[in-house]
């Protein structure tokens, strides 16, 4: 069984989370400049067993797709499907993950300075999104 990678795609930075090999727990891995994400994924997939990449889908409150999804995320997903034809490329609703990430950091006692670093929020958002995905597929 391979890992699942979770991606919180952003216009500047992209948060990345990954599961353990048994696909039980999501953990924040790192934050990568968005322009470098595809090369980063190539290296990671080349060195680890990966079954699936899950990309956070920015959805509006009413459930409709956002312009960000249509203009930026969907082309990214299509590139991933071409680059990694043997992997499952899936999406998952990422609504409110940034808010939940900040709350989780506060509850964990992370200092205010670290909470203000957007890279930390992006990585935590990817983790929350991926854990939600895991809970959905395990049902």
* pLDDT tens sequence across 34-89: 999 999 999 999 999 999 999 998 776 777 777 777 889 999 999 999 999 999 99
The C-alpha angle 35, 40, 45, rounded to 5 degrees, equals 145
Q: How many Cβ atoms from other residues are within 10 Å of residue 94's Cβ?
A: 28
Q: Identify the pLDDT of residue 71.
A: 86
* Arithmetic mean of pLDDT over the chain: 86
Q: Identify the pLDDT of residue 40.
A: 98
Query: What percentage of the chain carries pLDDT values higher than 70?
Result: 81
Hey, what domains does the chain have and what are their CATH numbers? 3-137 (3.30.420.140)
pTM: 0.85
Distance from C-alpha of 96 to C-alpha of 49, rounded to nearest angstrom:
30
Distance from C-alpha of 78 to C-alpha of 65, rounded to nearest angstrom:
16
Residue 117 clears pLDDT 80, i.e. is over it:
no
């Amino acid at each position: 069984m391979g890992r699942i990678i979770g991606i919180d795609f952003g216009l500047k930075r992209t948060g990345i989370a990954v599961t353990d090999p048994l696909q039980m727990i999501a953990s924040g891995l790192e934050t990568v400049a968005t322009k470098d994400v595809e090369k980063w994924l190539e290296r990671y997939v080349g060195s680890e067993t990966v079954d699936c990449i899950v990309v956070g889908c920015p959805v509006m409150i009413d459930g409709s797709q956002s312009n960000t999804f249509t203009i930026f995320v969907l082309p990214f997903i299509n590139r991933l499907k071409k680059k990694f034809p043997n992997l499952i490329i899936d999406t998952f609703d990422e609504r409110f993950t940034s808010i939940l990430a900040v709350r989780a950091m506060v509850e964990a006692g992370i200092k205010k300075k670290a909470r203000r670093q957007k890279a930390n929020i992006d990585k935590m958002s990817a983790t929350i999104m991926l854990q939600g995905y895991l809970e959905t597929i395990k049902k």
